Amino acid sequence: MCKIVACLSFMLWVAIGLAGQQVCTDVTVAKLVDVHKLDVSLLLDIRYATTNNFTGRQIYPMASCLLVRPAAESLVRVNTKLRQQGLVLKIWDAYRPHSCQKILWQVVPDERFVANPARGSRHNRGCAVDITLCDLSTGKELEMPTAFDDFSPQANRNAADIPPSARANSRLLEAAMAEEGFTGLSDEWWHFDYRDWQQHPLLDIPFTALGE
C-alpha cells in the first residue's frame, strides 16, 4: 500500500511539474527582437525555414532570427569581438515557437538532441541560438566537429577523434560565447543557452504574428 501511495505521489509531482510549464500565446508578452536588425553583418542560414534540416521539411514559414533583447545584444557583442579577429557568426536557429518544437520531437524524440515539448526548449523562450563561425572575408564556414544537427557522438563538446583544427574552432566559439553569458549544450557544439533563460516564458507565437 505504501508503495502505491508513493508511486501515485510521484506521478502527481510529475504532472504538477509539467502542468507548471505554461505556454504563452500572447504576442504582447513576447519581448523578442530581430537580431539581424541589430547587426546586419551576422550571417543567417535559418535551416528550419528550408528543407535542409534533419526533418526534410520546411518547419518555419519565414527565415526569422529572434531573441529576447538581452540575449540579442549579447550575441551582437560576441560578433563584434569576433569580427576584430576576422571571423563572423552564422546563425542556424534562434527563437522557435513551441508548436514547432512538437514537430521536431515527433521526428527525433531524444532529449539529448531535441527538447521534450512537455518541458519546452530554451529556443521556445527566445534564449537559445544554434551557430557556427565563418571567415569574415569569404563567408566560408570554419571546420567544426560535425555538421549542424548531426546527432552523432562526435557532436559532443568532449568527443574524441575530432580533428585538432575543428576542436580549436569549436573551443574558440565556446569561449567567445561564454564571455557574454552563453553556455554551450554538451551534446551539441553549435547550441548555446543564454543566462537567466528561466526568467522568460515558453512561447508559441507564430513568426507571422511577430513580423518579418
> How do residues 95-144 score in pLDDT, each as one tens digit?
999 999 999 999 989 888 888 998 999 999 999 999 999 999 999 999 99
Q: How far is CA 33 from the centre of its chain?
A: 15
Indicate the range of 1-10, 16-25, 83-92 predicted with least confidence.
1-10
pLDDT of residue 211: 63
Q: What is the DSSP letter of 124?
A: G
pLDDT at residue number 201: 94
The residue segments making up the domain with residue 19 are 2-210
Q: What CATH number is associated with residue 135?
A: 3.30.1380.10
Active-site residues, by number, are 188
What is the C-alpha to C-alpha distance for residues 164 and 143, in angstroms, rounded to an integer? 10
Map grid coordinates 505504501 to a residue: 2
SS3 203: strand
| Number of domains the chain contains | 1
pLDDT of 19 reads 45
Q: Distance between CA atoms of 92 and 129, rounded to whole angstroms?
A: 8
Contact between 101 and 42 under an 8 Å Cβ cutoff? The reply is no
CA-CA distance, 85 to 79, in Å (whole number)? 10
* pLDDT score for 27: 86
